[in-house]
Amino acid sequence: MNVRELLAAQYDVVAAWQLIAADWTRAMVDHRVSEHGWRVVHRGVYALTNAELTRHQLWMAATLTAPGSVLSHASAAACWGFRPWQSRFETITRPGSGGPKRIGSVLVARSRRLAGDCAGDVTRHQGLEITTPARVLIDLASGLDDRAVGRAFREAIRLKTTTAAEVQAALERHPTRRGTRLLRELATRYASLPYERARSDAESRALELLHDAGREQPLVNTRIAG
């Protein structure tokens, strides 16, 4: 992929390490920044536009701060659409160990389990390297209250980004993660509920209430007699 194709695939955002891998020199990169108006988004990450950066450009820029970085946690949840964007910084995960570290406007989490047995936790979505919705739910679980975990679980399935079975499989890959007790309970108890047919979280929650009350599962947004 040449640089023009790379820019088209990355919302006109590029990293110096990518250009150097494409046989550019550091001097060539510096020249573009100083003479062609490339905007510095993060150290070594540039946007080739003067317009206000979109959320997708900001997400892309965060993942380009170092090779192997993937969008994760609250940023990934917002990208998948099952949690509103409410943060002042983007969150990414890189291979490695150690606690999260804030670097400018990016929070960097580390995980030794982004490959190998847990390679299924990373995918591509809208051109971004990103953790899967099931992994996002696991990453967020320890920082949310029970009500927020339940809503995120329902919305992720209602919007057809994941399934209860995929959440259960991800939990099996991460059996010791903090805060996942409730998530495991939800994925087991409500595995058969047709969240994906609901048109709102209120309808999804109603399915749970009826299930817990032992009532027959209702038809959900089903066309009858035309």
Please report the pLDDT score of residue 37 as a whole number: 86
Asked whether residue 42 falls in the same domain as residue 124, the answer is no
pLDDT digits (tens, 9 = 90+) for 13-38: 999 999 999 999 999 999 999 988 89
Please report the pLDDT score of residue 1 as a whole number: 67
Asked whether residue 148 falls in the same domain as residue 84, the answer is yes
H-state helical runs in 44-200:
55-63, 73-80, 133-141, 146-158, 164-173, 181-189
Asked whether residue 39 falls in the same domain as residue 63, the answer is no
Output the six-digit token pair for 80: 């998948």
Q: Does a structural domain hold residue 96?
A: yes
117: pLDDT strictly greater than 60: no
Please report the pLDDT score of residue 3 as a whole number: 84
Give the mean model confidence (pLDDT) for residues 185-206.
97
Asked whether residue 107 falls in the same domain as residue 162, the answer is yes
2: pLDDT strictly greater than 70: yes
Number of folded domains that form the chain: 2
Asked whether residue 161 falls in the same domain as residue 102, the answer is yes
115: pLDDT strictly greater than 70: no
Give the mean model confidence (pLDDT) for residues 191-208.
97
> Which strand (E) or helix (H) includes residue 39?
strand 39-42
Asked whether residue 65 falls in the same domain as residue 46, the answer is no
Please report the pLDDT score of residue 119 as a whole number: 67
pLDDT digits (tens, 9 = 90+) for 174-192: 999 998 999 999 999 999 9
- Indicate left, alpha or beta for 214 from its phi (over 0: left) and psi (-120 to 50: alpha): left
Give the mean model confidence (pLDDT) for residues 88-99.
92
Asked whether residue 82 falls in the same domain as residue 63, the answer is yes
Q: Does a structural domain hold residue 8?
A: yes
Range of the domain at 30: 3-53
